[in-house]
Structure 1
Amino acid sequence: MIDPRAQRTGAKRLPWSDASSDAAATGPRFTPADSFLVFAYAVVAREAAALAAKRRAGAEMPTPHEIHQLRVTARRLRVALRLFRRLLPSRDVAHFRAELRWFASSLGDARDLDVYTESFKQYAQGLPPDRRRELSDYELYLRRERAEARQRAAAAFESARAAALFDELQRFAAAGPSAGALRRWRSLSIREAVRRSMRGSVGRVRRLGRELDERSRATELHALRIRTKRLRYELEFFAEVYPELAQTAEACKALQDLLGAHQDAYTANARFRRYAASLRKQGGDGTLPPALAELRRSQLAQARAVRKSFKERWPAFAATIDAARRAIS
């Protein structure tokens, strides 16, 4: 898929070729006056190297923690490609973003069930023995779901498609920008590009958030969570040049985690509905055992509490991201 580009920069060592270096150890490599194009390739190279490092030799099935890290890194790389899409070859960006979406989605069910199973186990362990016995059939259902999800994740992880994606990403990152791209974008500094990006990204999050209240749909809160996560990753990229943005990225993570708790509650509720449907297929009436019905009620109550907390926390968060935007302007 990667199109060879006729003109490359020379053999001189350039920032994007040092993707394995630890920026935290060596200090900032860029200043606001530097080329945004060179910065873009450096970020993409670093994120691609991080993804490759998390794919263990021998294509062994990753542990639950490694699955989480792979998904996060794939998402960060997708955000980087989206953020820098105007500067990068459009066909490559479209290809990589589609393949990274496939890869992260292939691991998604396994990761979600890993997290949910641990949470459910803690709930079950807190019940009296007689109540815990009510959950045995559901626990068996979860084990089957989790095993099937991990099989799907293993198939994707070990596939030739995933291997090709990792190889293509590393070749793309190592190649760097063409001489033509360097000429075209030579006047765009990091300072100017970050200003533009912050205006757009902060504005999108603000528009979504100010419309939400305690009656908003779960899909609307989830959309804000995705936008906030995107903004967080952008801020983390830019914090290499503007360290003060790291604190704003932490504020984004806090809101992302809050909205994630809301999404987890609704995802769990959907899982209960699927389980009830499976009971009906087996000839039952689809009624959840009392211990599960109680858990379902507590999770919906948690979702309501998150909505209330969001309404209280939103003004301070909006002020924080607005201040970060003004600081760069």
Structure 2
Amino acid sequence: MADAKREIERKYESDESGLPDLTGVGGVAHVLDKGVVDLDATYYDTADERLAAASLTLRRRTGGSDAGWHLKFPVTPGIRDEIRAPLADTVPDEIAALVRSRTRGTELIPVVRLRSLRDVRHLVDADGRLLAEASVDSVTADRLNRAGGTAQWTEIEVELADGGDPAFLDQVEKRLRKAGIQPSKSPSKLARALEQTGGPRTRTGKHAAPVTAGDHVLAYLRDQRDAILEYDPAVRRDVPDSVHKMRVATRRMRSTFRSFRSVLDRGVTDPIGTELKWIAGELGADRDQEVLAERLTTALDELPSTVVSGPAHARLSSWASARHSHTRGHLLAVLDSARYLALLDTLDALLADPPLRKKAAKKPTKVLSKAVRKDLGKVSRLITDALDLPPGHDRDLALHEARKKAKRTRYAAEAATPALGGPARSLTKSMKSLTTLLGDHQDSVMARHTLRELAAVAHAAGESAFPYGVLYGREEQRAAAVEAELPGRWKEVRSGTSV
């Protein structure tokens, strides 16, 4: 079974002088010599080095205290999440799944072998507590997957102890710089090895600054494609909020196809939009469950004990757990499906050879602002129609449609912001506020539906349904409050719109 660890470290160039004395730096009372460790790591990637292009590293390492398979995801510079699995001859299934959105069935092969003699020092405080591990690594790199060579270098690595304060590393760096030691120009040993043994990576991922309307739309779409790939492994690991973020990326991409049909040929994008709607729905089953369970649990906790009778908390918890377990298992199967992986291939192909229309080549201001205004007009009509309906089922449906169109307008304004500036940024903020308000209304609709179900089950089991009835009444009040606030909020949005 794989486990995870956050790795916070910094790397430095090293010469023959090695590591300076760090006693007294940031509370370091002692520098303990832990000896020399012989590390032997083989790094795996696809033949075209897709993992390296995404700053991911996958290795099988022997030697040291953490021998095994390691998969590292970048978080911010100097910080990575490391997923570990026991030593085995082949890539463990749980590790392979986490890079499947990148590999998509392509074989993982050895690309680089790194052998390091690591001279280790432990930096400890007066109580013997580990603050960081500092090492001087003598590295030999051999290219394995192409006609490459061998490279050798020495570097210093300082890794913060678990739970340590990252500010400690700043103090260590100050001391190292004073000794003439500079930060490494490479973010990782693998990046340096790839560069020095086989030339630069084949895919840099760099794109020119957007100029035309098409450039701006494609830049936004590219960001969403990258977000889907980034959050895929987080969803598989059940990282909090990852499902929501991945779902939002799919919705942003689909909305962009629909908003900017004057830029991209809908004959190509509509079928892709259908697939994006499918995966968003699959992601939504889990996400909607999380949101609803949290809402109902919080509401139940707020009820006075005199109102809550019977096993209401236990029933709600059991309902939430059972639903989550079912939907999560299904979601993981979806992420491994041929349909999903084919969608990722299709998105790559679209961005590599986009179906641009004539207006894509024009200046962005007129083209993008017209598309945003068109979306905003649809929101206006939907909200006006919804407020003309009496409270009830039909108004609930109409407000839900208005919310979806408001989201689409928000995403269109986001895509246009680099070109349109302040007005688009202001509209994005207004649409976000509006969708939050309408989202609370829709959440209330879904909560009341679930409360009716829970009440019926509780009643059939001979339990009191009273707590669910109280919560139902409160949800009705919350929805009514949103509907009362909406006209004024919408008036503010319209008066502040200048796109």
TM-score tier by shorter-chain length is 0.7 to 0.9
**Structure 1 residues 203, 288: CA separation in 2 closer, same or farther (over 3 Å shift)?**
farther
Equivalent residue for 1:210, pick from 378, 384, 392:
384
Shift of the alpha carbon at 1:277? 4.8
Name the stretch that deviates more: 41-50 or 260-269: 41-50
Shift of the alpha carbon at 1:86? 3.8
User: If each structure's strand is expressed as a fraction of its own residues, which one has the higher value?
Assistant: 2
Equivalent residue for 1:188, pick from 362, 378, 403:
362
Shift of the alpha carbon at 1:251? 0.9
Q: Deviations over 1:246-303 (max 9, x none)?
A: 12211110011001111000101111233345457xx558x86211111111011100
Question: In structure 1, what is the Cα distance between the partners aligned to 2:251 and 2:291?
Answer: 18
Cα pair 2:296 2:447 within 8 Å, conserved: no
Where do 1:292-303 residues align within 5 Å?
A: 292-303=468-479
Cα pair 1:225 1:260 within 8 Å, conserved: yes
Name the stretch that deviates more: 224-233 or 84-93: 84-93
Equivalent residue for 1:82, pick from 258, 265, 268:
258
Question: In structure 2, what is the Cα distance between the partners aligned to 1:311 and 1:38?
Answer: 37
**Structure 1 residues 89, 248: CA separation in 2 closer, same or farther (over 3 Å shift)?**
closer
* SS state at 2:330 partner: helix
Where do 1:17-96 residues align within 5 Å?
A: 29-30=209-210, 34-56=211-233, 60-96=236-272
Q: Is residue 2:424 matched to residue 1:250?
A: no
**Structure 1 residues 64, 215: CA separation in 2 closer, same or farther (over 3 Å shift)?**
farther
- Quote the RMSD (CA, aligned, Å): 2.7
Give the TM-score of the pair, scaled to structure 2.
Answer: 0.53
Cα pair 1:61 1:157 within 8 Å, conserved: no
Question: In structure 1, what is the Cα distance between the partners aligned to 2:420 and 2:256?
Answer: 17
Question: In structure 2, what is the Cα distance between the partners aligned to 1:172 and 1:47?
Answer: 13
Shift of the alpha carbon at 1:187? 5.5
The letter of the residue matching 2:398 is E
Q: Hey, what does 2:415 align to over in structure 1?
A: 237
Identity across aligned pairs (percent)? Answer: 24
**Structure 1 residues 128, 203: CA separation in 2 closer, same or farther (over 3 Å shift)?**
closer
Shift of the alpha carbon at 1:105? 0.2
Question: In structure 2, what is the Cα distance between the partners aligned to 1:122 and 1:204?
Answer: 35
* SS state at 1:63 partner: coil
Question: In structure 2, what is the Cα distance between the partners aligned to 1:186 and 1:128?
Answer: 59
Q: Deviations over 1:155-199 (max 9, x none)?
A: 22232221221222123212345xxx57x4466321221232133
Q: Hey, what does 2:95 align to over in structure 1?
A: none
Question: In structure 2, what is the Cα distance between the partners aligned to 1:278 and 1:91?
Answer: 48
Shift of the alpha carbon at 1:35? 2.4
Q: Hey, what does 2:345 align to over in structure 1?
A: 167
Where do 1:102-251 residues align within 5 Å?
A: 102-127=278-303, 131=308, 133-135=310-312, 136-176=314-354, 181=356, 184-185=358-359, 188-213=362-387, 215-216=390-391, 217-244=395-422, 245-251=424-430
The letter of the residue matching 2:353 is A
Q: Hey, what does 1:5 align to over in structure 2?
A: none
Shift of the alpha carbon at 1:238? 0.5
Question: In structure 2, what is the Cα distance between the partners aligned to 1:225 and 1:70?
Answer: 19
The letter of the residue matching 2:217 is A
Cα pair 2:369 2:416 within 8 Å, conserved: no
The letter of the residue matching 1:289 is A
Cα pair 1:134 1:289 within 8 Å, conserved: no
Structure (1 or 2) with the larger CA radius of gyration? 2
Question: In structure 2, what is the Cα distance between the partners aligned to 1:111 and 1:44?
Answer: 23
Structure 2: 5+ residue stretches without partners: 1-202
Structure 1: 5+ residue stretches without partners: 1-16
Q: Hey, what does 2:444 align to over in structure 1?
A: 265
* SS state at 2:263 partner: coil
* SS state at 1:87 partner: coil
Question: In structure 1, what is the Cα distance between the partners aligned to 2:369 and 2:403?
Answer: 22
More relative contact order in 1 or in 2 (CA 8 Å, sep 6+)? Answer: 1
Q: Deviations over 1:71-125 (max 9, x none)?
A: 1111001011112334334443122101110101011121111112222222333
Q: Deviations over 1:124-155 (max 9, x none)?
A: 33345572644023332232222222222222
Name the stretch that deviates more: 121-130 or 138-147: 121-130
* SS state at 1:56 partner: helix
**Structure 1 residues 123, 277: CA separation in 2 closer, same or farther (over 3 Å shift)?**
closer
Question: In structure 1, what is the Cα distance between the partners aligned to 2:477 and 2:303?
Answer: 19
* SS state at 1:54 partner: helix
Give the TM-score of the pair, scaled to structure 1.
Answer: 0.78
Question: In structure 2, what is the Cα distance between the partners aligned to 1:144 and 1:116?
Answer: 14
Q: Is residue 2:453 matched to residue 1:274?
A: yes
Shift of the alpha carbon at 1:44? 1.9
Question: In structure 1, what is the Cα distance between the partners aligned to 2:457 and 2:291?
Answer: 22
Q: Hey, what does 1:314 align to over in structure 2?
A: 490
